[in-house]
Structure 1
Amino acid sequence: MNTSLISSDSTWFLWAILTGIAALSIWLEQNYKWASKVTGCVLALIGAMILSNLRIIPINSPVYDNVWSYVVPLAIPLLLYNANVKKIKKESGRLLIIYLISGLGTIAGAVIGFLLLKNYIPNLYKVAGMMTGTYTGGSVNLVAMSDAFEATGELVSASVVADNLLMALYFFVLIAMPSIGFLYRHFTHPIIDENEKLSKDGTTESASYWKAKPISLKDIAFAVSTAFIIVAISTKIADSFAILIPTGNILMNLLNGLLGNKYLIMTTITMLLATYLPKFFGNIAGAQEIGTFLIYIFFTVIGVPASIVLIIQKSPLLLVYCTIIVVFNMVVSLVFGKLLKFNLEEIILASNANIGGPTTAAAMAIAKGWNNLVIPTLLVGTLGYIIGNYYGTIIGNLLNAF
């Protein structure tokens, strides 16, 4: 029974709301200091969360399914056109090291949380795979892992609810970290000391980063068409592998899960194209902007199921599990970051890139005025789109043995 003001089959109204929230979040982020601190991704998530909890929009709708089925797959290659592996290795420098270490914290948290809660949460190995993927590369990876492990809609919904609520809270923690006295005293923070959060002209750093740039009709055509082509080919290849590779033991199941995952194929193909045809894909103006806007729509959608009622009814233990993973990620990042003498800015962005992905991490770097870390953050976070699917698939299948 539908209890929302706007019904689930009001297609045009729901698309108007989703794109409207995404656009409003971007506008707020680029025009107001407080919104720039929160980041537009979190604003989009919170906006949808408020509307769904007030029962203005439905929690479930075919429109949301279309975002998962079409919008997200198209966003992935668009965001990966600069994922030149040679460039990542050359330009990401120190941030790549702490990012990879931070990812180990995610894996440790997923395994330890599984061992603690496996007797209390059914099919927790599926959640482990989804959360390992999403907390290594970002929320986009959750889509791939939920499909790879054939998680039920109810389990995915409950996981997303827990993930969304915790992710929003953790972003606030990350944003507040530079202001925490203990961290400020015990970590170096040269960029925080030198950079201002606002540009000289009074605009936010987000507005400065996303300032207008020359984009031709050809750029838009190439960006969109190549994204469609990559998604189509990747889907066909993955479907073929899923049929050809038999299952029956752990090794074959893992191989089937890897090669039969369209998102994994998609990210791999795009990465190879960006690496070996950098002059073409790296010079498609507007691809990052279009892909980022699509991701903002996705953030809006994942905020919809974040119902406080559902948290209480269905996923309190999943919230605990997600919290364990995030806490381990943060602790490992801070401890090893301190031991290896990383700056606080690098540690925060590395953890953010793991938990939220490159868009949220880069948005935070932009909002904080850490300009020289924006590109490295995007690069290592983009790498997370790739390795997150590998990590999630491997961890989920290994824990399934328990």
Structure 2
Amino acid sequence: MQRTIENHAVCFKVLPSRPVTTGLIIAAAAGLWSERTRIGKELSGPLVSTLIGLLFSNLGLVGGSNAGTVYGTVNKFILPLAIPLLLFSADLRRVFKETGRLLLAFIIGAFATVIGTVVAFKLVPLAALGAVDSWKIAAALAARHIGGAINYVAVAETLQVSPSAQMAGLAADNLLCAVYFTTIFNLARNIPPESPRLDVAEATGEPTTEGSKGGIQVLEATIGIALSAILCYLGQQLAVAIGFPSASISVITLLTVAIATFFPKQLKPLVASSEGIAFILLQIFFAAVGASGEIRAVLNTAPSLFIFCFLQIAIHLGVILGVGRAAGFARKELLLASNANVGGPSTAGGMAAAKQWQSLLVPALLIGTFGYSCATFLALALGHTVLRPMVLP
């Protein structure tokens, strides 16, 4: 009994004092708070948390001997637990039914990312990372710009990218994403709102990017966490059973999307509270993404990553705007679809709310969730069938 009490005392003494853990939580909270400001709305809470984490890391405010352990805990435990919580609403039948033209614009954006990745990899082959890691990082960045940062980690872990290459890719991409989000908001500056501003949750009955309607309900949140934990366990066991333990996040995603599609009524009471918990966990993940990237390491290891990411995003944006305009899409549809590609549902929903495009808010959230559901698998296919043969015999 005495030993147990002493162990608990040590935990309570050590955890709050760790600068890495404290820094991540501060960055996560600051990112959510920033969405109440104009700049925060443009960049989005997740990106702000990522940039603050990156700033903390490069100023030496977080780090040390235990930093790798903390980041590993976030990737191995917090991120997998957050994925099912976020995807309980990923009913693919609803996505195909309710997103309309915006889903087609999203598909154009995904295609544009594939083109951008292949062209950028041809022009900037990332030789400094080595033949093995180069195509894997390119595939992970493709997943990042089809679905979001969650998909980047899923692909990187599935392909077993080296930690140094994975962190270098994140650091380069984070800086370019800040430029990207500022650019698309600038491109949308003259597009008028659809109507006088309404409370988003009241107008749509959907969760907003800052939380769920009515707040987090304790019972539903607890059930959601328990179900998420079960799905994580099953996903990890299945990944081991099929001989690909590194693909556990991909399997967890597949399982969650399956039950969300076949049992939407049963999951509906859990969605709002589960998404609220997921947003909190993911803010910590985004902060860790930023804190794990050192700009100096990118400059020393693979400065070409900045050029690669710039070309990839620039080609994506150019193709989706050019092809989409030729296909008759409105600019706001294309910008919102591109936002969902690069940032995911939270940034796309945030942009729709900030620009007062009420009719596109729910479709933006749905296509962003759809991106989370499929980007990992699309990027893995791209990597194995196209990118890998470009550098390996």
Which of the five TM-score ranges fits, normalised by the shorter chain?
0.7 to 0.9
Displacement of 1:264: 2.0
Pairing partner for 1:329 from 313, 316, 336 = 316
In structure 2, distance between residues paired with 1:226 and 1:54 = 39
Displacement of 1:313: 2.0
> Are residue 45 (structure 1) and residue 50 (structure 2) matched?
yes
2:170 maps to what in 1? 160
Q: Which amino acid aligns with 1:219?
A: E
2:194 maps to what in 1? 194
Displacement of 1:45: 1.6
Displacement of 1:368: 2.4
Percent identity among equivalent residues? 28
In structure 1, distance between residues paired with 2:265 and 2:181 = 35
2:274 maps to what in 1? 287
1:26 maps to what in 2? 32
> Are residue 401 (structure 1) and residue 389 (structure 2) matched?
yes
In structure 2, distance between residues paired with 1:349 and 1:363 = 10
Deviations 1:262-311 (A, max 9, x none): 22211111111111111121221311111112111111111114433233
2:7 maps to what in 1? none
In structure 2, distance between residues paired with 1:335 and 1:47 = 34
2:240 maps to what in 1? 239
Q: Cα distance 1:378–1:211, how it changes in 2: closer, same or farther (>3 A)?
A: closer
Q: Which amino acid aligns with 2:80?
A: P
1:342-381 matches, within 5 Å, as 342-381=329-368
1:198-347 matches, within 5 Å, as 210=211, 213=214, 215-242=216-243, 261-284=247-270, 285-347=272-334
* Corresponding residue SS for 1:129: helix
Q: Cα distance 1:41–1:196, how it changes in 2: closer, same or farther (>3 A)?
A: farther
Q: Is the 8 A contact 2:174 2:290 kept in 1?
A: yes
Displacement of 1:360: 1.8
In structure 2, distance between residues paired with 1:144 and 1:35 = 26
325-334 or 16-25: which moved more?
A: 16-25
* Corresponding residue SS for 2:88: coil
Displacement of 1:37: 2.8
Q: Which amino acid aligns with 2:219?
A: K
Pairing partner for 2:143 from 130, 133, 136 = 133
Q: Cα distance 1:12–1:280, how it changes in 2: closer, same or farther (>3 A)?
A: farther
Q: Cα distance 1:361–1:26, how it changes in 2: closer, same or farther (>3 A)?
A: same
Displacement of 1:108: 0.8
Q: Cα distance 1:118–1:83, how it changes in 2: closer, same or farther (>3 A)?
A: same
Displacement of 1:89: 0.7
1:5-24 matches, within 5 Å, as 12-24=18-30
2:93 maps to what in 1? 86
259-268 or 367-376: which moved more?
A: 259-268
Displacement of 1:199: 6.2
Displacement of 1:87: 0.4
Displacement of 1:144: 1.1
1:137-148 matches, within 5 Å, as 137-148=147-158
2:6 maps to what in 1? none
Displacement of 1:216: 3.2
Q: Is the 8 A contact 2:86 2:275 kept in 1?
A: yes
Q: Cα distance 1:194–1:359, how it changes in 2: closer, same or farther (>3 A)?
A: closer
Q: Is the 8 A contact 2:211 2:275 kept in 1?
A: no
Q: Cα distance 1:196–1:177, how it changes in 2: closer, same or farther (>3 A)?
A: farther
111-120 or 229-238: which moved more?
A: 111-120
Displacement of 1:260: 6.7
Q: Cα distance 1:304–1:86, how it changes in 2: closer, same or farther (>3 A)?
A: same
Deviations 1:110-157 (A, max 9, x none): 111222223734232111211111111100011111111111111111
Deviations 1:14-51 (A, max 9, x none): 32321222122212313x33332332122212221222
In structure 1, distance between residues paired with 2:84 and 2:225 = 10
Question: How many residues get paired?
Answer: 364
110-119 or 269-278: which moved more?
A: 110-119
- The TM-score with structure 1 as length reference comes to 0.84
Pairing partner for 1:150 from 144, 150, 160 = 160
Displacement of 1:194: 3.1
CA RMSD of aligned residues (A): 2.5
Q: Is the 8 A contact 1:95 1:350 kept in 2?
A: yes
* Corresponding residue SS for 2:269: coil
Deviations 1:59-100 (A, max 9, x none): 743111111111111111111111101100111111100000
2:68 maps to what in 1? 61
Consecutive unaligned residues in structure 1, runs of 5 or more: 1-7, 201-205, 244-258
Displacement of 1:207: 7.9
* Corresponding residue SS for 1:261: helix
Displacement of 1:178: 1.3
Pairing partner for 2:372 from 382, 385, 390 = 385
